[in-house]
Amino acid sequence: MSVQIEDTKRTAIAVKLSEMKALQNLLISNEEALIEACPDREITNRLESLLRDDRKNLGIIETVIVQYGIKAEPKAKVQKEMEEVQKIMKDSDVTLFEKVAKHELLTHTQAMAGVLVHKAGQVVGADIAVAIAPLNGVNFDNRGHEEQLKGIMESLSTLELTGLPSDNGLWSRVQDTIAAISGVAGGIISRSDHEIGICDLIRLDHTKVNTLFAQIKATNDPQKLQEYFGQIYLDLSAHSEAEEEVVYPAVRPYYNDIQELYDEQAKAKNLLEQIKAMSCEDTVEFKTAVEGLMIAVTAHIKEEEDEMFPRIKESFGDEQQKLMATEFKAAKSKIQDQRLALAAQ
C-alpha cells in the first residue's frame, strides 16, 4: 500500500487560507470603492492607510499559501457571501456608513479566520506553525483596522445625522488603541516591507521540512507518519522544481558547484518516490527510509546555506534577490495550482 499524499485536516486549513486570500482581495476592493465615494478628506486618509496595509497583507497571505504547500478553493457558500457584499458596495441606496459597517464586519471575520488557522495549525503539526508564522502580522493589522473602522463609523454617523464633523479627539483615541495592539505584536513581522529575499524564502522552506522530519522522528503512529511524509513529498517536490526553474540557472555563473546541487535534488526525488510507494504500517522500515532521505536533504540544505547563499548575496543586489524570491514563489504557486487542477479531475 502506497502512502496517501494529502491529509484531510491539512486540506481543511488550505481551504481556510484560500478564503482568507479571497476575503483580502475583497477588503482591498471595498476600500478602493469607499475612498472614491467618501467626501471627507480625513476619513479617506485613514482608508488609504488601511488600503496600503491590506495590499501588503495580500502579498503576505499569498506567500503563506505557497509556503503551506497545499492549494484549495474557497467554499461555494463563502464565494456567494462575498458576491453579495460586492453588490452592497455598488448599491447607491446603501449609505456610506452602512458600507463601512459591513466592511468592519468583514475585517473582523478576517481577523478571526487568522486566529482559527493558527489554532488549527497548533493542533495539526508544528511544521504548519512555521509555514503560517507571517500571518501574525496580518492578524494584528486586522485587529487595528477594526478599531480604525469603528472610529470612521462614529465620524460618519455624526456627519450623516447632523451634517457636522465628530469630536476631533476621536483619532487620537483610535491611535492609542492601535499603539497598544502594535506593542503586543512586537517584532513578529515588518509592517513596512513584506518582500523578502530569495535566501530567506528558501530558508523558510528548509525550516519547515526540518520540522516535518522532527515530527516523523517523534512518532510511531502510522497515520501521523503518512500525514507528515505526505507534506514532505508535496513541499520538496515543489521546492526542488522551483529552484531548478528559477534559482539554479540564475546562480550558475557565480557558483561552480551548481551541478552538485542538481544531482543532490535528483537523488532526493528518487528517494521520495521510493518512500511514497512504501507502507507506513511497518514503522521501523518506513522511518529508516525517511531517515535516509533526511540525511540527504540535510546535507543539501547545508551546502545551499553555507555555499550558495553567500554567492547569491555577493552577486545580486537586494532588489534582485527580492525579484528572484518573487519568481521562486510564483513558480511554486504554479506547480501547486497544477497539482490542484489534477486533483479536481
Question: pLDDT tens digits, residue range 215-243?
Answer: 999 899 999 999 999 999 999 999 999 99
Please state the rounded mean pLDDT for residues 269-290: 95
Is residue 187's pLDDT more than 50?
A: no
- The contacts of residue 151 (CB under 8 Å, 6+ apart) are 46, 170, 171, 173, 174
pLDDT in tens, 7-18: 889 999 999 999
Is residue 194's pLDDT more than 80?
A: no
Q: What is the mean pLDDT of the chain?
A: 88
Distances (CA, A) of 307 to 62, 141, 297: 29, 37, 15
When pLDDT is cut at 50, 70 and 90, the band that residue 155 belongs to is confident
- The contacts of residue 89 (CB under 8 Å, 6+ apart) are 29, 30, 33, 34, 99, 102
- The predicted pLDDT at position 89 comes to 94
> Please, what is the angle between helix 198-217 and helix 283-303, to 10°?
160
Whole-model pTM: value is: 0.83
- Distance in angstroms between the alpha carbons of the first and the last residue of the chain: 23
Q: Which three cell numbers stand for residue 285?
A: 522500515
